[in-house]
Structure 1
Amino acid sequence: MKKTLVLSAALMTLVGFSSFAEERTLIDFTTLKADIAIWPEDYDGERTENQNKRTIMDYATAAGASFSSEQKSLMKSSLALDEWEVVLNSSAQNVGSLARSVVKAAPVSENSKQPFAGSEVMGVRVVFPSGAYNANAKIVPPFNIPAYEPYSVADDNGDRQKAETAEGESSGPKYLFEADDPSDKASPAYGLVKNVGTIKKIAVTTMGMNFPHGLWVLISDADNITRRYFMGYLNFDGWKTLEWNNPDYITEVRTREIRIYPIYPRGEPFAKFEGFQITRDASHIGDDFIGYFKDVKIIYDKANLTSERDIADEDLWGIIGRRESARQALEMSRFGNKQVNRYVERQKMAVEENFTPSLSSDGDSNAQSNGGQGADAK
């Protein structure tokens, strides 16, 4: 009987240690399909679906009073795949590369053997310089993903509504870019995972095209520090999961440095997706790079063990709420100013593709042909 109790205690200890590690999908690009139309992408007036309802953000609050209510209603952006950007390093920037380096939604064939057949993944085109010098490009979201944006449901116009349960309590996750169900390991996040301690592993599902370039994942933390994680080279063909294993991860608990932090009011640590980085060596081929990405996953230690407490500390003191509200206001201000400036620049852009026909004195248009010469030109 005594031996049985000892074995049971040892088993419970092992289960306790294994429960510290969690696996989560940090971001799944198949969930970022454009499914609502905020403004016409085509200038013929047709409303094209161009934003993702789940991740849409309204930056009209950062716009000045000079904008009309109609203009402010269009000041929205999301993590829809076509909204992501390619940022080239300074030595790789030229007019052609900047214009042709883009991110697009890439449909996966229905006949694919992958479990995500028929979905849309992230497709990336980067135009590297052909000269013999190093270059790199970052694939980043259209805005810095807010870590403290409260969750709410958006309608088909991109306006967020306060979601209520039958009991009148707020439903859904606490933060907008967390998973729909943070307690479900299979529920993918939208670039934000809370309660993250030490990261043990990172995995990226990507389709290689035999390019010799290197792939890095960029992840930031609650201290606003962004770290690069080298995933490997893309010199393979087909779908593959590239993994980074933390070389400094200590599996033996007795050799770990134990640090004790106050449980309250310390903020909850998090991991936030900042993008990819593609590095091209000077000795490798330049010009076009094509890549496809499905998701990013992490295995990590919990920063804090969640448990029921006798007193609701935050309800009583509200310290974390005030801190996070201040951070959220700062994040929205930075995001809004950038997006408003882009909106103004978009409004100034020329939309005409061709010249209007010239009219003769009787009101008829003169046909132009032969490279702009008259129809009778020899």
Structure 2
Amino acid sequence: MLRKILLPLVLLQLASALYAKDEIWIDFGVLPSGYAPEDGTYIRQYDPAPIQEGDETVVDYSNVYDPFTRAPQNLLPSRFANQTADSGNPAYDEMKLSLALDRWQVKLSSSSTNLSTKKSSEVVAYNVKDSSSRFAGEQIMAVHFSLPNLLVNSKAWVSPEFAIPAYSVDLSGVAKEDVNAKLQEDVRRPASERMGQFLNKGVLRNVGPIRSITVTVYGRRFPMNLFVEADHTDVGRRSYPFGSLEFSGWQDLVWTNSNYIVDVRKRKYNTSPEYPRGMPSMILRSLRLDRPIRAANESSSEVVFYIKQISVTYDNATPETFDTEIDDEHIWQLNTVDSQRHSYNQALNSRMNAVDRYMELQERHPAFPAQETTGEEAAADSEQPADSGQNEAEAPADQPAN
């Protein structure tokens, strides 16, 4: 009798385990690194790490595909409009952005931002000691920032220097006349890989109900709470809490979706057409570290943080056989065109970050070639908040991204 009861339960659990998919969302160990330490010492760099040869994470806003005109466009502001790869102007390279670890940024909440804390914020790539119990010799992200000794709830966001696009094709080095051929080549790839410049580098495709998210970090007993912020193409922005970093050594911090339905028979059946809905994507927005008011003292004013990777266990939003028998997208390209338009509009919204950073570097390094700032651009820059809007209202932490 007991066997008859337990056997279906075991089979159900096994079926659920097979149904779920475990993937690396982002591994900081495989991202490019522009700077290498000299004599084993890391030196604070005030300018962006140089773009490395073969960096597949580069975003160049002077060469963005415009699906409306079906041609590459230069989205840089007017004062950089003539910048091209052959212009010979060093400012052109400063307009390129990369997911390289050395180029990630730390942004503090407005109550914690001042000239001193801003200058002390830095992100570097670090290779773990060969004697480490985990990830020996591998690269991780190392973060340092300073917080004031004020009785406020301080926050810090660690994010790339651009918003990671859900859909993007690397067009660097592609001649204008070859762009359409490059895009057609991308359409012939499997649906889960199309327009996937940042797949498994902050982007996951075909994400349905999430079972859990795991963050692998190295703790130094800092009284900070860790959150991972994500953008979902189907349900919007979500913030996932991982608890306190008041521990020492390696730990796998896990967020578990309390609303995940293990029994697939009890899930609500989705009657929406599978095409052209496509495959919903999950995009890494930032890592957020919160210091509660109770921990605001001198011992918590200098913070260091180490992270290796983030993985997600989820169910597919669409079947694996989505395009194995009839490849809708290869015929109609509805998702491709929609994705290209979304990627283009996102580039329009985020391109100014490159220009803003370039202008900031000019103030630090007078040797940089001077560029004129128009009145409209100067006014737009002055309206930007200290934390770039990262502390806007969020969805409750316990709401799953299903």
Interval of TM-score (by shorter of Structure 1 and Structure 2): 0.7 to 0.9
1:122 alignment partner in structure 2: 141
Letter in 2 for 1:327: H
Matched, 1:63 2:76: yes
- Could you tell me how far 1:65 is from its partner in structure 2? 5.1
Provide the rounded CA distance (Å) in 1 between the counterparts of 2:32 and 2:329. Answer: 36
Matched, 1:202 2:209: no
- Could you tell me how far 1:251 is from its partner in structure 2? 1.0
Tell whether the 8 Å contact from 1:124 to 1:292 is kept in structure 2 after alignment.
Answer: yes
- Could you tell me how far 1:133 is from its partner in structure 2? 2.1
Deviates more, 1:320-329 or 1:48-57: 48-57
Matched, 1:104 2:85: no
Q: Secondary structure at the match of 1:201?
A: strand
1:297 alignment partner in structure 2: 311
Tell whether the 8 Å contact from 1:162 to 1:170 is kept in structure 2 after alignment.
Answer: no
Q: Describe the shift of the 1:102–1:219 C-alpha distance in structure 2 as closer, same or farther (beyond 3 A).
A: same
- Could you tell me how far 1:299 is from its partner in structure 2? 0.3
Provide the rounded CA distance (Å) in 1 between the counterparts of 2:181 and 2:29. Answer: 24
1:230 alignment partner in structure 2: 241
* Count of residues paired in the alignment: 321
Q: Secondary structure at the match of 1:241?
A: strand
1:90 alignment partner in structure 2: 110
1:144 alignment partner in structure 2: 163
Percent identity of the aligned residues?
Answer: 30
Structure with a larger share of its residues in helix: 2
1:341 alignment partner in structure 2: 356
Unaligned segments of structure 2, at least 5 residues: 1-7, 37-42, 63-73, 368-402
Letter in 2 for 1:124: V
Tell whether the 8 Å contact from 1:54 to 1:154 is kept in structure 2 after alignment.
Answer: no
Q: Describe the shift of the 1:277–1:154 C-alpha distance in structure 2 as closer, same or farther (beyond 3 A).
A: farther
Q: Describe the shift of the 1:175–1:19 C-alpha distance in structure 2 as closer, same or farther (beyond 3 A).
A: farther
Provide the rounded CA distance (Å) in 2 between the counterparts of 1:108 and 1:102. Answer: 18
1:322 alignment partner in structure 2: 337
TM-score (norm 1): 0.75
- Could you tell me how far 1:73 is from its partner in structure 2? 4.4
- CA deviation digits over 1:309-342, x for unaligned, max 9? 5433223222112111110111122222321332
Structure possessing the higher relative contact order (Cα contacts under 8 Å, 6 or more residues apart): 2
Matched, 1:271 2:282: yes
- Could you tell me how far 1:31 is from its partner in structure 2? 0.8
- CA deviation digits over 1:151-191, x for unaligned, max 9? 56879xxxx99998xx9997794234444xxxxxxxxx100
Q: What are the equivalent positions in structure 2 for 1:134-213 lying under 5 Å apart?
A: 134-151=153-170, 173-179=193-199, 189-213=200-224
Computed over aligned residues only, the root mean square deviation of the Cα atoms, in angstroms, reads 3.4
- Could you tell me how far 1:220 is from its partner in structure 2? 1.3
- Could you tell me how far 1:49 is from its partner in structure 2? 4.9
Provide the rounded CA distance (Å) in 1 between the counterparts of 2:137 and 2:181. Answer: 31
Provide the rounded CA distance (Å) in 1 between the counterparts of 2:327 and 2:180. Answer: 23
Tell whether the 8 Å contact from 1:34 to 1:49 is kept in structure 2 after alignment.
Answer: no
Provide the rounded CA distance (Å) in 2 between the counterparts of 1:253 and 1:343. Answer: 51
Matched, 1:240 2:244: no
Higher alpha-carbon Rg: 1
Q: Secondary structure at the match of 2:336?
A: helix
Q: Describe the shift of the 1:305–1:65 C-alpha distance in structure 2 as closer, same or farther (beyond 3 A).
A: same
- Could you tell me how far 1:12 is from its partner in structure 2? 9.1
- Could you tell me how far 1:29 is from its partner in structure 2? 0.4
Provide the rounded CA distance (Å) in 2 between the counterparts of 1:222 and 1:106. Answer: 32
- Could you tell me how far 1:350 is from its partner in structure 2? 2.9
Provide the rounded CA distance (Å) in 1 between the counterparts of 2:171 and 2:243. Answer: 38
- Could you tell me how far 1:343 is from its partner in structure 2? 2.3
Tell whether the 8 Å contact from 2:59 to 2:98 is kept in structure 1 after alignment.
Answer: yes
Q: Describe the shift of the 1:10–1:315 C-alpha distance in structure 2 as closer, same or farther (beyond 3 A).
A: farther
- Could you tell me how far 1:89 is from its partner in structure 2? 1.0
2:19 alignment partner in structure 1: 20
Match of residue 332, structure 1, among 318, 327, 347: 347
Tell whether the 8 Å contact from 1:34 to 1:53 is kept in structure 2 after alignment.
Answer: no
Q: Secondary structure at the match of 1:31?
A: coil
- Could you tell me how far 1:76 is from its partner in structure 2? 1.0
Q: Secondary structure at the match of 2:289?
A: strand
